[in-house]
Amino acid sequence: MLNYHSIETFGAHEGPGLRLVIFLQGCQFKCLYCHNPDTIECKKNKEISGDEIIKRLENGREYYFPKGGITFSGGEPTLQSSEILSVFKKAKKLGFNTCLDSNGAILNESTKKLLEYTDLVLLDVKHIDNKKHKILTGASNKQTLKTAEYLEKNNIKMWLRYVLVPEFSDDINDVKKWCEHFRNYKNIEKAEILPYHALGEHKYEELSWEYKLKNIKPPTPEKISEVEKIFQKYFKKVVVR
Amino acid sequence: MSKIITEDFITGKWQTEIDTRDFVFQNITKYEGDASFLVGPTEKTQAVWNTSLEYLKKERENGGVYDIDENTVSTMTSHKAGFIGEADDVCVGLQTDEALKRSIKPFGGLRTVYSACKEQNRELSPKVIDIFTHYRKSHNDGVFSAYTEEMRNLRRTGVLTGLPDTYARGRIIADFRRVALYGVDRLIEEKIKDREKIDGEQMTEEMIRLREEIFDQILALEDLKKMAEIYGYDISKPAQNAKEAVQWVYFGFLASVKEQDGAAMSLGNLDGFFDIYIERDFARGILDEAGAQELIDQFVIKLRLVRHLRPTAYENIFAGDPTWATLSIGGSFTGKGHKINKTSFRVLQTLYNMGNSPEPNITVLFSPTQFTEGYKKFCAQVSIDTSAIQYENDDMMTEIRGYDDYGIACCVSYQKTASQIQFFGARTNLAKTLLLAINKGHDEKKNILLIPEISEIKTDENGYLIYEEVKKNLDKIFPVLAREYAKTMNVIHYMHDKYYYEKLQMSLMDTHVERTMAYGIAGISVIADSLSAIKYAKVKPIRDENGLAIDFEVIGDFPKYGNDDDRVDNIARDIVDQFNAELEKQHSYRDANPTMSILTITSNVMYGEKTGATPDGRKTGDAFAPGGNPMHGRDSTGAIASLNSVAKLNYTSALDGISNTFSFVPKTLGSNKEEQIENLVTLIDGYFNKKGHHLNINVLDRETLIHAVDHPEEYPQLTIRVSGYAVLFIRLTPAQQREVIARTFHGSI
């Protein structure tokens, strides 16, 4: 059984094509800008079996095959790697494309096993500077970067994601360093820039949590364009979401 | 026999028999490419459209009606010629002598026309009142002279609603192409031959009636010629080129909307037909792409200007002044691939050349298996840019209905061109029907006994409803309701044939036609969720002093329709199958085949107003979801789960169509246009491959709609699709606007 938050049957932003997206409950990071803060707490939420998920996937075959597939997100899905494994195994057997949307901060035997059945990883590398990464997420970026290396060495395709937050992750030198770090990677299919937005703010009120980015406004179109141009020098495909 | 101009056309059956399908099949030029060949509007088109925009502005400023001719009963020859701009009008003809001026058609009902005039501060001509009071009965008079007390009660309470007893039935798509292909004289010759054959050893009632009908059809064809002459055209002979083909076809349609004001006056599948003449003119070197697009643009402008005079009460059932001049494009030939041609693209291009518009209700007969990628992508792009088109499952319809030459009548209703018509019958309110089961057959609002011998519903020891008991009562009610519905329809269509016969439209059809009874249901999502609540949760009726359940206490959770959950989706599917099966048992006027639709147009708001609280937790007066849609906000697992639920309804039990309206915020479809187009194509393909029937697609922001409520003047051409058709958002009532905004918008962060 998987501990999940919600299901999106029409996922157009979590990998290629249209996808069945399962948002799992629980995350070991606590990003200041998280727009789904109700997925962070590692508490018991709703339960769903792997069979139910496969049934939904199969029911959507006309939509999810062949261009789309299934994605596990959250929260942080690698907290439930062993539960996801059987789902991915079955999904692959049925011919579907599998995708994992992760912060990359866990890479144990369970995760490695899961990655054997993962076609694509959406890797959120929140910041290249470890100190700034800790401010932004509450955790170090060391394992994430090691995970990126592991994916590259094992020829697992990646889409890198970067959330552009004014004052926290929009320093141009940091952006350049982030891109440089991945300069020689062959397995990065796409780099996505996610401009910060505050549409999840009301959820913090519902949780009675303090919203620490109250005074931060979304990045300007000029800043987004500037970052996009830098990205385009390093990555063959760059998308601004 | 009149000569057919056949030079350069490929020969076939169509030369010796009236068979426009064969002509199209033999001569069509399929197009496999993309939209890059399309061009903008010519100067003439821009001039005509700009003048039209001025008229439309005046119409808005005048409260929605530009002008009325309240003195002249409208016929094909009653009004002198009218133009938009005589030099620039490439396709001529208006219903009256001026654009947007509405005419009176009292044959449908004198009272309706009288009210419509009065509401616009006009006095209906006393002469007309005298004639239709003392000398000539109307369809409306006829119907009410035969209605039984039961029929009136079912109507009054809103269990049967929207019946065409105060307005004309529409739903006849004449084969307008044959005017151009054969010329009117040849059509007259064929009708004369047909009439001579209706004779024999006996002269039965049906034969007498048919002989008279054909006689009237021949008169109508003569009038059609006279109408064209008023505009300076001789249409006795076939069209010689593309301009004439478009003009002759338009004359056929114009004649129909001068004679009749049916709720839906649709056109059929015309793009392939026009394209044949256009391709021939290209080959002859007498037409270029700009000229071809001009013909289509100007034809469509005329369709946008069609108007019918309606009383304001009509707005409740059909909001936004619709005409359902449904223009079907695309399609496929059974076993012989798609019908996509360049004009299939040109029709869509009109939405760019003249801006967005709800009419002529452009409907893509979409084949996921046969269509080209180029056409699919262009359609998706047009949806994203305009939200003005709708899609119907061509693969499923050609397979199940068995014939590939058809058009969509009104919103979702398959109709074979030239050989089939529908007897339209609006719908039954299934939510109220369920309440009848809970209230001993009494209407929950007016406390009238509608269905006798329905026992008091048994509850469990805590007062909660028991699913099997509710189902038992429902099973008793369905056959009785179906019977009364059929009887009501028989009265309506008998009288419409008698007092408001569509002689011009029928003159452009085969003499012997198939008829279908087009029944309908509203509130499928409400009854499904209600039965689910009763079955899986605990529902206690709260009764008033008369014993009527005026509210329900619902404890616990239950599966809701729209989440791809078989537990409730199968309830919905079974209800549709069951009610349809009951309708199929009933005797039909003129041996019409019973069919049923799941379609509400905008009346879902009004049906909700007339319905009390329901066991699913819906409050009294709350709007229903439109057509086959899940209730607002109850589909919470995303768009595909919602579509999967609707796709489970059997088209074979709802042959008159299953309407599904879908609204997206653009971002939900993808992060850029290219992604959005690809994903939307995947969505439409997927839904139709899963045997879904129809999709209305809206791609816009909720914020845009909210803004348009307060600033209608900024959005004159904002088109939105509601169940089965597109409407100008600013023409909806505030309640309808709120309902559209409340509709589930599939948007996520």
Domain map (residue ranges) of chain B: 138-166+422-653
- Residue in A60, A197, A240 closest to B640 by CB: A60
Q: How far apart are the C-alpha atoms of B530 and B551, rounded to whole Å?
A: 12
For residue B746, list chain A residues with Cβ-Cβ distance below 8 A. Answer: 10
For residue A63, list chain B residues with Cβ-Cβ distance below 8 A. Answer: 640, 682-683, 686
Tokens at residue B630, please? 């899940």
B417-455 pLDDT, tens digit per residue, is 999 999 999 999 999 999 999 999 999 999 999 999 999
Q: How far apart are the C-alpha atoms of B328 and B342, rounded to whole Å?
A: 14
Tokens at residue B323, please? 């005409």
Catalytic status, residue B410: yes
More confident residue, B307 or A201: B307
Structure confidence at residue B394 as a pLDDT band (50, 70, 90): very high
Any idea how long chain A is? Answer: 241
| B156-170, B253-267, B312-326: least confidently modelled range | B312-326
For residue B640, list chain A residues with Cβ-Cβ distance below 8 A. Answer: 9-10, 18, 20, 60, 63
What pLDDT score was predicted for residue A206? 84
Contact yes or no for B226/B255 (Cβ under 8 A): no
Structure confidence at residue B727 as a pLDDT band (50, 70, 90): low
Give the helix/strand (H/E) hosting B529.
helix B524-536
The whole-chain average pLDDT of chain B stands at 94
Structure confidence at residue B318 as a pLDDT band (50, 70, 90): confident
Tokens at residue B639, please? 């768009």
| B152-161, B426-435, B727-736: least confidently modelled range | B727-736
Q: How far apart are the C-alpha atoms of B600 and B724, rounded to whole Å?
A: 8
Among residues B602, B734, B559, which one has the least CA distance to residue B319?
Answer: B602
Q: How far apart are the C-alpha atoms of B574 and B580, rounded to whole Å?
A: 10
Structure confidence at residue B718 as a pLDDT band (50, 70, 90): low
Tokens at residue B724, please? 């089965």
Q: How far apart are the C-alpha atoms of A229 and B606, rounded to whole Å?
A: 54
Long-range CB contacts (within 8 A, 24+) of A6-9: A7/A48, A7/A56, A7/B637, A7/B638, A7/B641, A8/B637, A8/B638, A8/B748, A9/A56, A9/A60, A9/B564, A9/B637, A9/B638, A9/B639, A9/B640, A9/B641, A9/B642, A9/B644
Hey, are the CB atoms on A9 and B668 less than 8 Å from each other?
A: no
Hey, are the CB atoms on A17 and B683 less than 8 Å from each other?
A: no
Where helices occur in B585-715 by DSSP H, the ranges are: 603-609, 639-647, 666-669, 673-689, 702-710
Q: How far apart are the C-alpha atoms of B181 and B72, rounded to whole Å?
A: 32
Hey, are the CB atoms on A9 and B671 less than 8 Å from each other?
A: no
- Residue in B644, B669, B672 closest to A60 by CB: B644
- Give me the number of domains chain A comprises: 1
For residue A197, list chain B residues with Cβ-Cβ distance below 8 A. Answer: 749
Chain A residue with minimum CA distance to B682 = A63
Contact yes or no for B444/B435 (Cβ under 8 A): yes
Interface test with A, best of B682, B688, B690, B701 (most A CBs within 10 A): B682
Q: How far apart are the C-alpha atoms of B328 and B361, rounded to whole Å?
A: 8
A39-49 pLDDT, tens digit per residue, is 999 999 999 99
Shortest Cα distance, chain A CAs vs residue B555, angstroms: 20
Contact yes or no for B556/B537 (Cβ under 8 A): yes
Residue with tokens 């409050």: B619
What pLDDT score was predicted for residue B725? 59
Average pLDDT estimate for B650-666: 91
For residue A46, list chain B residues with Cβ-Cβ distance below 8 A. Answer: none
- Residue in B639, B675, B690 closest to A10 by CB: B639
Hey, are the CB atoms on A8 and B672 less than 8 Å from each other?
A: no
Question: Taking chain B, what is the end-to-end CA distance rounded to the nearest angstrom?
Answer: 68
Shortest Cα distance, chain A CAs vs residue B745, angstroms: 12
What pLDDT score was predicted for residue B722? 60
Average pLDDT estimate for B46-68: 96
Catalytic status, residue B117: no
Where helices occur in B75-138 by DSSP H, the ranges are: 110-119, 126-130
What pLDDT score was predicted for residue B723? 58
Whether residue B152 is predicted with pLDDT greater than 80 in this model: the reply is yes
> What percentage of chain A reaches a pLDDT higher than 90?
87
Q: Which strands make up the sheet holding B390-393, listed edge to edge? A: B268-269, B327-330, B363-366, B390-393, B694-699, B661-664, B745-746
B179-230 pLDDT, tens digit per residue, is 999 999 999 999 999 999 999 999 999 999 999 999 999 999 999 999 999 9
Structure confidence at residue B666 as a pLDDT band (50, 70, 90): confident
Q: How large is the angle between the packed helices B467-499 and B430-438, nearest 10 degrees?
A: 130
Hey, are the CB atoms on B683 and A62 less than 8 Å from each other?
A: no
What pLDDT score was predicted for residue B720? 65
Shortest Cα distance, chain B CAs vs residue A109, angstroms: 32
Average pLDDT estimate for B516-529: 97
Structure confidence at residue B665 as a pLDDT band (50, 70, 90): confident
Tokens at residue B539, please? 């529902």
Average pLDDT estimate for B133-144: 97
CATH value at residue A204: 3.20.20.70
Shortest Cα distance, chain B CAs vs residue A108, angstroms: 31
Query: With 0-12 CB in 10 A as exposed, 13-18 as middle and 19+ as buried, what is B513?
Result: middle
What pLDDT score was predicted for residue B1? 40
For residue B683, list chain A residues with Cβ-Cβ distance below 8 A. Answer: 10, 18, 63
pTM recorded for the entire structure: 0.94
B236-256 pLDDT, tens digit per residue, is 999 999 999 999 999 999 999
> Does B695 contact A at CB distance below 8 Å?
no
- Given its phi and psi angles, is residue A155 left (phi above 0), alpha (psi -120 to 50 degrees) or beta? left
For residue B644, list chain A residues with Cβ-Cβ distance below 8 A. Answer: 9, 59-60
Among residues B329, B249, B242, which one has the least CA distance to residue B280?
Answer: B242
The yes/no answer to whether this complex scores an ipTM above 0.85 is yes
Residue with tokens 């109709």: B415
Q: What angle do CA B733, B747, A94 make, to 5 degrees?
A: 130
Range of the domain at A55: 2-240
Average pLDDT estimate for B514-534: 97
Chain B residue with minimum CA distance to A63 = B686
Residue with tokens 């590939």: B404
What pLDDT score was predicted for residue B138? 97
What pLDDT score was predicted for residue B699? 81
CB contacts < 8 A (A, B): 64
Neighbours of B674 (CB within 10 A): 11
B535-565 pLDDT, tens digit per residue, is 999 999 999 999 999 999 999 999 999 999 9
Whether residue B3 is predicted with pLDDT greater than 80 in this model: the reply is no
The whole-chain average pLDDT of chain A stands at 95
Hey, are the CB atoms on A241 and B671 less than 8 Å from each other?
A: yes
Question: Taking chain A, what is the end-to-end CA distance rounded to the nearest angstrom?
Answer: 32
Coil vs helix vs strand at B385: helix
A34-77 pLDDT, tens digit per residue, is 988 999 999 999 999 999 999 999 999 999 999 999 999 999 99
Q: What angle do CA B660, B662, B667 make, to 5 degrees?
A: 165
- Residue in B641, B670, B679 closest to A9 by CB: B641
What pLDDT score was predicted for residue B746? 62
| B254-268, B448-462, B629-643: least confidently modelled range | B629-643
Share in percent of chain A as helix, strand, coil (round to 5): 40, 25, 40
What pLDDT score was predicted for residue B726? 63
